[in-house]
Amino acid sequence: MSILINKNTRLLVQGITGNEGLFHTTQMFAYGTNVVAGVTPGKGGEWVLDGKVPVFDSVKLAVDATGANCTCIFVPSRFAPDAMFEAADAGIPLIVCITEGVPVQDMMRVRNYLDQKKVRLVGPNCPGLLTPGEAKVGIIPGDIAIPGSVGVVSRSGTLTYEVLYALKLAGMGASTCVGIGGDPVNGTNFIDVLEMFEHDPQTEKVVLIGEIGGTDEEKAAEYVAAKMTKPVVSFIAGQTAPPGKRMGHAGAIIEGGAGTAADKIRALEAAGVKVAKHPEEIPSLLK
């Protein structure tokens, strides 16, 4: 068992004929993900990946023809909100949006709509999902993780890769890795993923990778203290960041003294979470 994606996931890719979309679809397909369709308006009837994956003009047509139950979005930021609306209207239960730079106001409208439709969104501005040995949806490299029992949830893309590789070198595998993205308004938060890991029989331990800005890590700490029975290990990025300066992600900014690394580490440690000083320490803390 894994969370969100597995070998039964039927993946559709929006923006499949663009450079990014085609490159990463090729990687996902090579990993063994069941890519059943692509969507690019005006390109319906074409095929990609040497005739293995059909392209449709709309998500509805693609879903009707292939039974896709997950979509991965690689479209420019100005088109991403409409791509998410279209996927939700076509009845897709899981949307993974890789696109970065989606305006906050647009995301507030999208989030409100998807919540009403009871559609799960991961992202935007995220690396996506990886269930080692089964499926990958997004841009996480497939070869940096092995199957196992450690659930990984992260706000940072590159740190996700670093931690997965450190686990692999230590002979520890991941059940599923979820990159939730670092934007101020996103679809899935730490608590959502922690709850899924808590109820997943294959996940025995959890790694939470946070960063400065916002209060998501503090809320996650409260959830861990109240609800989690599985051990959680964490790392917080941005411990040397100056206040008032945005670091990397749109959500990674310390404002009015809130959102500092020290605040987050204090909250997590108070909840019984072991916090690593460097990502490479995580495997030894899990042992």
> 280 and 235: one domain?
yes
> 172 and 253: one domain?
yes
Q: Does 172 reside within a domain?
A: yes
Q: Does 104 reside within a domain?
A: yes
Please report, for the domain that includes residue 114, its CATH number.
3.40.50.720
Q: Does 227 reside within a domain?
A: yes
pLDDT for the residue 239:
85
> 101 and 178: one domain?
no
> 276 and 173: one domain?
yes
Calculate mean pLDDT across residues 184-189.
96
> Which of 59, 93, 122 finishes a domain?
122
Q: Does 49 reside within a domain?
A: yes
Q: Does 60 reside within a domain?
A: yes
> 116 and 173: one domain?
no
pLDDT for the residue 65:
98
> 66 and 98: one domain?
yes
Calculate mean pLDDT across residues 52-74.
98
For the segment 84-135, what is each residue's pLDDT rounded down to a tens digit?
A: 999 999 999 999 999 999 999 999 999 999 999 999 999 999 999 999 999 9
> Which of 93, 122, 151 finishes a domain?
122
- Residues acting as catalytic residues: 249
pLDDT for the residue 123:
97
> 31 and 103: one domain?
yes
pLDDT for the residue 242:
77
DSSP of 233-284: EEEEE-TTPPTT---SSTT---BTTBS-HHHHHHHHHHTT-EE-SSGGGHHH
pLDDT for the residue 81:
98
Share of the chain above pLDDT 90, in %: 90
Report the chain's mean pLDDT, rounded to a whole number. Answer: 95
Q: Does 3 reside within a domain?
A: no
Nearest to 190 by CA among 218, 165, 168, 164: 218
Statement: residue 250 has pLDDT above 70 = no
> 259 and 190: one domain?
yes
Statement: residue 1 has pLDDT above 80 = no
CA distances from 282 to 162, 173, 279 (A): 10, 13, 6
pLDDT for the residue 124:
98
**DSSP one-letter code for 17:** T
Q: Does 14 reside within a domain?
A: yes
pLDDT for the residue 238:
87
For the segment 229-247, what is each residue's pLDDT rounded down to a tens digit?
A: 999 999 999 888 777 666 6
For the segment 147-162, what is each residue's pLDDT rounded down to a tens digit?
A: 999 999 999 889 999 9
pLDDT for the residue 245:
67
What's the whole-model pTM score? 0.96
> 32 and 101: one domain?
yes
Share of the chain above pLDDT 70, in %: 95
> 183 and 274: one domain?
yes
Tally of domains in the chain: 2
> 203 and 108: one domain?
no
Please report, for the domain that includes residue 172, its CATH number.
3.40.50.261
| Of 271 and 156, more confident | 271
pLDDT for the residue 259:
85
Do 221 and 270 meet the contact criterion of CB atoms below 8 Å apart? yes
Statement: residue 13 has pLDDT above 60 = yes
Extract the runs of DSSP E, i.e. beta strands, from 98-188. Answer: 120-122, 128-131, 135-138, 147-154, 174-179
> Which of 122, 156, 174 finishes a domain?
122
> 86 and 32: one domain?
yes
Q: Does 2 reside within a domain?
A: no
Cα separation of 240 and 72, whole Å?
34
Q: Could you list the residue range(s) of the whole structural domain that residue 97 is in? A: 10-122
